[in-house]
Amino acid sequence: MALPIEDYALIGDRGTAALVGKDGSIDWLCLPRFDSPACFAALLGTEEHGRWLLAPAEEVVSTRRRYVDGTALLETTFTTADGEVVLLDVMPTGDGRADVVRRLTCTRGSVRIRHDWVVRTDYGRIRPWVRHEQAHDEDVIVAVAGPDMFVLRGPRLPRGHEGHHRDEFELEAGETMTFSTSWSPSWSEVPAPLGIGERIRATTDHQRRWSQRSPRDVPHADLVQRSLLTLMLMTHAETGGIVAAPTTSLPEDFGGERNWDYRFCWLRDAALTLESLLGAGYETEALRWRSWLLRAVAGDPADLQIMYTVDGGRRLPEVELPHLPGYAGSTPVRIGNGAACQRQNDVLGEVMSALELARQAGLSENANSWALQRALVDELAEHWDEPDNGLWEIRGPQRHFTHSRVMVWVAFDRAVRAVEEHGLPGPVEHWRALRDRVREEVLDKGFDAERGTFTQHYDTREVDASLLMIGLVGFLPPDDPRVLGTIDAVMTDLLRDGLLLRYRTVTGVDGLSGDEHPFLACSFWLVSALAAAGRREEAARLMDGLCALANDVGLLSEEYDAAHARMAGNFPQAFSHLALVQAALSLR
């Protein structure tokens, strides 16, 4: 059975990532890419669906974890009655390989270690053919199934037994053992041994150089740095695509159907990540993401999708995996995401806002980058008044969502600014007229004068946490009475145990059964909205409470179940971490 979500930590090589449990088990890993089929899938099933365990065989008295300062190298310290052992987990970066390195060091006494290596390809469905062989003058274990080959190396290799490779051994004070699993295409030769010491040093140096640029003049600066490092790990090093999370189907509603695959690149999430990076001083990252965007959306602007694969691919068919019992019995387990084909009119607003910030930071446009933005805005001008599925990917009827309309205004506003402030060509009079028309419509149809608040969509009096963005994107001043009324209404209607829901699911607006827990990004938006409205003390108190919800290594999931003090949803979640960074910057 999988651990509580908060008991996992992330390691990654910017091509993919793994979740490592407090118990020393890697329960989730997709190789060689974020959206590749998992080879360790115990997170969504049992150990029979694949895992890699290295941990004390005897009772553990205490467990401590930390990331090595300024890096994503994970140290887990196990204390037993007879000794102490430190497990270092790292995925080396910058070498184009796909390796997981696990180093055990006994620091006191002696500890008996249990080793269990269980590879299952295709999300735990297929047992590979496993054999011992000699390669590069050493003994290795090779597992092959279809296109995948996995190679286990180490000074003491486990033996096969009923589909597992198991071993137990003593580790004495001062002794170290290092194991590695490498992925390679099955038709290639067994890859050469990794220069482990050199690659760990290079990875440490690279990550520390990157993280040292994180701002220190913000509240919770260490957690901001961890969030930025986590966002870096979820950015594909080669393509520049930013995944929303490295996992699929961790439930929003335990035991329910709200289980989605987040291992893809949402334009919205990526644009908001870029805004967070720019706000934190990471200007050079903007160019790589803009290059990814240009490749991903190239073609007819009418074919724009809301999400893509990390290399810009468009096909993300949603498939259910009935062989997996799901995390905490939450089914179905899904891969792919059917929301890719939805209409979400807010997306271009987030993209144009991020690219405007990039221009302000000094990133000049080239002929292709501005031509693409202009074409996308012109396409939006033809369809902006159509209903959509909204920010939250509603699977019920399309609506005229107020947040979507506000972000349509943002798209036209940033296009106007590009012409007026940066001298770029475009039909500025037409865009300006559309911007004014959208604003007038939102103020007329999206505002409930009786309650003094904006509404979720034009046909309801319900509110939605996304309305907090109205004062943050410049649609109205953040201290406008209508914005202040909306903040108060959102807090009145959507706060649960001190945290914000996205919306009230009991209305049935999303077309799904069951409930969900407070969405952490929304609560961070509330911090930003309160700070912008001048309610900084209130914002700071909320920020302190939210940061206390991070797990022991500073990671956040999508949602939080305060009633049971547990995380929910995919983990770690880019949306939560980018919103944390933005909230901290708002309190600077």
Residue 438 pLDDT grade (very low, low, confident, very high; cuts 50, 70, 90): very high
pLDDT value, residue 515: 79
Amino acid 160: pLDDT: 93
349-360 burial string, b = 16+ CB within 10 Å, else e?
bbbbbbbbbbbe
- Residues 162-196: tens digit of each pLDDT: 889 999 999 999 999 999 999 999 999 999 999 99
Expressed in percent and rounded to 5, the helix, strand and coil fractions of the chain are 35, 25, 40
Q: Answer whether 0.75 is exceeded by the pTM.
A: yes
Q: What is the pLDDT of residues 478-506, one digit of tens each?
A: 999 999 999 999 999 999 999 999 999 88
Mean pLDDT to the nearest integer, 16-25: 98
pLDDT for 477: 97
Q: What is the pLDDT of residue 142?
A: 97
pLDDT of residue 564: 94
Strand partners, 149: 144, 184
pLDDT band at 76 (very low <50, low <70, confident <90, very high): very high
Cβ atoms of 465 and 519 closer than 8 Å: yes
Residue 227 pLDDT grade (very low, low, confident, very high; cuts 50, 70, 90): very high
Pair 506, 523: CB distance under 8 Å: no
pLDDT at 440: 98
pLDDT confidence of residue 545: 97
In the structure, what pLDDT confidence band is assigned to residue 411 with cuts at 50, 70 and 90? very high
Confidence band of 510 (pLDDT split at 50, 70, 90): confident
Residue 56 pLDDT level (bands cut at 50, 70, 90): very high
pLDDT above 80 for 417 = yes
| The pLDDT of residue 447 | 98
What CATH class has 5-190? mainly beta
Residue 368 in this model has a pLDDT that exceeds 90: no
Q: Is the distance from CB of 481 to CB of 489 less than 8 angstroms?
A: no
Give me the pLDDT at residue 521, please: 97
Q: Does the pLDDT at position 286 exceed 80?
A: no
pLDDT of residue 287: 79
Lowest mean pLDDT among 76-80, 131-135, 174-178: 131-135
> Range with the lowest mean pLDDT among 6-15, 243-252, 393-402, 555-564?
393-402
What percent of the chain stands above pLDDT 90? 83
What residue ranges do the domains of the chain occupy?
5-190, 290-303+343-445, 446-588
Please report which confidence band the pLDDT of residue 59 belongs to, taking 50, 70 and 90 as the band edges. very high
- On the question of pLDDT at 514 being above 80, the answer is no
Give residue 290's pLDDT. 81
Q: pLDDT of 134-155, one tens digit each?
A: 999 999 999 999 999 999 999 9
- Per-residue pLDDT reduced to its tens digit, 529-579: 999 999 999 999 999 999 999 999 999 999 999 999 999 999 999 999 999
Are 245 and 558 a contacting pair, CB within 8 Å? Answer: yes
Q: What share of the chain has pLDDT > 70, as a percent?
A: 100
pLDDT score recorded for residue 513 = 78
The number of C-alpha atoms within 13 Å of 547 and in the hemisphere containing its C-beta is 22
**Residue 148: per-residue pLDDT:** 97
pLDDT value at residue 512: 79
Sign of CA dihedral 569, 572, 578, 584: positive
- Tokens standing for 3? 């651990």
- Cα(65)–Cα(80) distance, integer angstroms: 15
Which band of pLDDT confidence, cut at 50, 70 and 90, is reported for residue 296? Answer: confident
Query: φ, ψ for residue 571 (rounded to 5)?
Result: -150, 140
- pLDDT tier, 364 (very low <50, low <70, confident <90, very high otherwise): confident
- Residue 406: CB atoms within 10 Å: 24
